[in-house]
Amino acid sequence: MLCGVKRLLNSSAIRCINFQLENTCHRTMSVTVDPMIESEINVNKRPMLDDGNDNEAKIQKTETETVQRIKRKNHAMMLSYLGKDYYGMQRNPGMKTIEEDLVAALLKADLITSEHFENIRAINFQRAARTDKGVSAIRQIVSLKLPENPDKAVINQHLPDVIRVFGIKRVTKGFNSKNQCDARTYRYVIPSFAFAPEDPSLLKLGEEVSEDERIKQVSVVDGKPYTDYRLSPESLNELNSILKLMEGTHNFHNFTSKTKPLDPRARRYIISFNCVETFVSNGLEFAVLEVKGQSFMLHQIRKMVALVIAVARNLVSKEKVNEAFKMDKLEIPIAPSLGLCLCHVHYDNYGKRYGADGLHETLDWKECEEEVEKFQKQYIMRHVVDTEISEQTTLKWVANLPEYSFSSIDEICEDVDEKEETVDYI
């Protein structure tokens, strides 16, 4: 009897416990599905990213982090370009420049990120020379950090035909294409008739003559059309003697703008300056002037060429060159940009120190010579010759050369009060 009671109590207790458990589970499930409580819980939850822009931003961030993890090494890149229709080498917001096209091509080739595109300093980008508007380059050098084994062919796929990358080499970690450059060589290609002496009886320096009359005067040299003019051995020797006056260390404040005579930056060292060759194209003879210096200022070479032409044409004496190195500010015009071209960037000291260490190469780019020369003839020289013949660039510039007195600014102000634009042009 007692055992039966115990079994009955145990059965009742078990049923009671099961009932309580069922109620507890039911209350718990009710809490989970209760709309009011669920709403409160959802308020505290982190919302999911439904927005397309947020998803895109998240993807871009992931891609950027992936690219940034790629190991980058310092490289030197050699490129050639035709300066026509470009506002110089250096990037300039809103302007068409060589660097803008180059960096855009690197981005499309997946060699840099969009952040690098906006801030090229992040990849230590540096140009060896900053060419001006319209100025071309046969061998321009830039240094920058790129992934290992970059393919120049892929870069060129995204560049216009007038810009070509011809070589990429690994360089030392601290290499800087501008700071470690020993010297730069430029060439200036110009029709040789520009150096033909003027007939002194036809004009006086500073005297105004109609443009049409002046063009007629300079279109005839020694009784023949200017296109027939050829530099004689004597004329070539005389030209080289004038060019040599520019060699050495001088104060070139008169050959740039906004630089004071006492500014130490005006002192520049010209290693050599001479006429290296002449050639005839389409019946017109051209002279190739080559100037090598440690560095150059804005418009310096073009003003040097302008003064040399003035001396060769007997518009001013040779003494004017030495006078230009003195303190007085002279009025010297700027020769056209058409014929100016960056030819070589020299890294002799770098080559001696690292070129034979087994890890790095010299930066003379001899292995690219054939391709570079082909580009130069096909684009740069053809443009110079065709433009000279079709637009008579040098002929018109030479015709206006006597408008400049090559005198000091004080003398200009006294003698030519009305020609304020000439003074402002300096």
Residue 383 tokens read as: 């443009």
The answer to whether 129 and 137 are in contact (CB under 8 A) is: yes
222 is catalytic: no
- How does 274-291 read in b/e, with b if 16+ C-beta sit within 10 Å? bbeeeeebeebbbbbbbb
- Which of the following is catalytic: 54, 85, 132, 222? 132
Does 186 belong to an annotated binding site? yes
Q: State the CB neighbour count (10 A cutoff) for residue 297.
A: 17
Name the region of 392 (left: φ>0; alpha: ψ -120 to 50; beta: rest): left
3-state SS string for the chain: CHHHHHHHHHHHHHHHHHHHHHHHHHHHHHHHHCHHHHHHHHHHCCCCCCCHHHHHHHHHHHHHHHHHCCCEEEEEEEEEECCCCCCCCCCCCCCCCHHHHHHHHHHHCCCCCHHHHHCHHHHCCEECCCCCCCCEEEEEEEEEEEECCCCHHHHHHCCCCCEEEEEEEECCCCCCCCCCCCEEEEEEEEEHHHHCCCCHHHCCCCCCCCHHHHHHHHCEECCEEHHHCCCCHHHHHHHHHHHHCCCEEEECHHHCCCCCCCCHHHEEEEEEEEEEEEEEECCEEEEEEEEEECCCCCCHHHHHHHHHHHHHCCCCCCHHHHHHCCCCCECCCCCCCCCEEEEEEECHHHHHHHCCCCCCCCCCCHHHHHHHHHHHHHHHHHHHHHHHHHHCHHHHHHHHHHHCCCCEHHHHHHHCCCCHHHHHHC
Report the distance separating Cα 368 and Cα 79, nearest Å.
10
Binding-site residue positions for substrate: 186
What amino acid positions are annotated as catalytic residues?
132
Binding-site residue positions: 186
